[in-house]
Structure 1
């Protein structure tokens, strides 16, 4: 379901949070879908269950999942999450554009490169 990059400097729990956020926001995990159990996911990824529990706690605090006592965690059906993430994206984009302007990048070049990256699906 998710893949962890053990060479990445980012903490494992943050990688788990990011991977699940992406799956939820893209619709790969539909609302009310049960999340893998902490123990099962920890075994699958060969990491400490406390790491998974920390990631699930963060996902719950951010509204991506909700717990059901005795049954586990489930994907939230909160539609505002995508809008919130888009707002954060546009804030980051605004900061990058400002940096580009300070470096002398023209509007035309910025739009051209943006279109190229968008079409390539470049990450």
Structure 2
């Protein structure tokens, strides 16, 4: 059982996604990538709120929603743990909504498939 620090999270202040949603998506991705494993302890609500300079209720809301989904469990005296089981989504399923939004935006801009794929491949190469 590994304990993690709040520095594993970040927020994009200019994003149209609410902060609690950003946290939820980050936890989902970290679980899917096996950075967070079943039994791992998440940083406390207070710690995350202090590091990210957000309201503790925002972090609490994200953790509660993840608990409702079955991705996290609450352990008395320990905090929030990554749940055991196969509740995690596949990596492709997590990425799909982002790519769908990008595809819609590409269509609205009138870009052809080849140009979009070339741009995506360039971005993938830049972020290695």
TM-score under structure 1 length normalisation: 0.69
- Give the whole-Å Cα distance in 2 for the aligned partners of 1:42 and 1:56: 12
Q: What SS class does the counterpart of residue 81 from structure 1 fall into? A: coil
Q: Which residue of 2 aligns with 1:33?
A: 40
**Residue by residue, what CA displacement relative to the aligned partner does 1:45-81 show, whole Å, maximum 9, x if unpaired?**
1100000000001111112111112321001122242
Decide which of 12, 16, 19 is 2:26's aligned counterpart.
19
TM (norm. structure 2) is 0.67
Show the counterpart of 2:5: none
CA shift in 2, pair 1:121/1:81, >3 Å: farther
SS at match of 1:74: strand
Partner of 2:80, secondary structure, is: strand
Q: How does 1:73-112 map onto structure 2 within 5 Å?
A: 73-83=80-90, 86=92
**Counterpart in 1 of 2:78?**
71
Task: Check conservation: 2:24, 2:66, Cα contact below 8 A.
Answer: yes
Q: Which has the larger radius of gyration?
A: 1
Q: What is the aligned length?
A: 116
1:3 corresponds, among 2, 7, 10, to: 10
Runs of 4+ deviating beyond 3 Å: 85-94, 119-122
Distance 2:93 2:29 in 1: 15
Name the SS of the counterpart of 2:73 in structure 1: strand
